[in-house]
Amino acid sequence: MPVLSNDSIFFKALTRLGSVLNMKSLVVSQEYRDAFILAEITFKHQLVFCPLQRKQVRLNPPPANITEDQLQYAGKELDEDLALQLALGNCDPATLKIVHDFNPDKIVSS
């Protein structure tokens, strides 16, 4: 699954890496370039929990040219209630079983 076009700035930079590092024998493969771009997409567009919206959101909205396939490592959207319970620490992240019942809306101040 190629993720770089030949006119991409990253494609050009990674292709010229050997010259820039003065290592003429260094060849950056297409597979490495694709993996590099997937890692960057994963980092920039990961799913995070927004406490203000109380739901998962992308850290940065992906541009139109990024496909769902390219976002596969950036997190899987969960049911909204499950995501909230995980964020509150009420759910065991390994088993997804409820272990607490903390609710910030029911905090009584003294």
User: How do residues 20-35 score in pLDDT, each as one tens digit?
Assistant: 788 878 888 888 888 8
User: How do residues 12-21 score in pLDDT, each as one tens digit?
Assistant: 788 778 877 8
3-state secondary structure of 40: helix
CB atoms within 10 A of CB 69: 9
12 and 57 belong to one structural domain: yes
Residue 92 domain boundaries: 78-110
Is the torsion defined by CA of 12, 41, 34, 63 positive or negative? negative
C-alpha distances in Å from residue 55, one per residue of 16, 48, 81, 82, 96: 41, 8, 8, 10, 17
Res 107 pLDDT > 90: no
**Res. 6 pLDDT band, cuts 50 70 90:** low
48 and 101 belong to one structural domain: no
Total domains in the fold of the chain: 2
User: How do residues 87-104 score in pLDDT, each as one tens digit?
Assistant: 999 999 999 999 999 999
100 and 70 belong to one structural domain: no
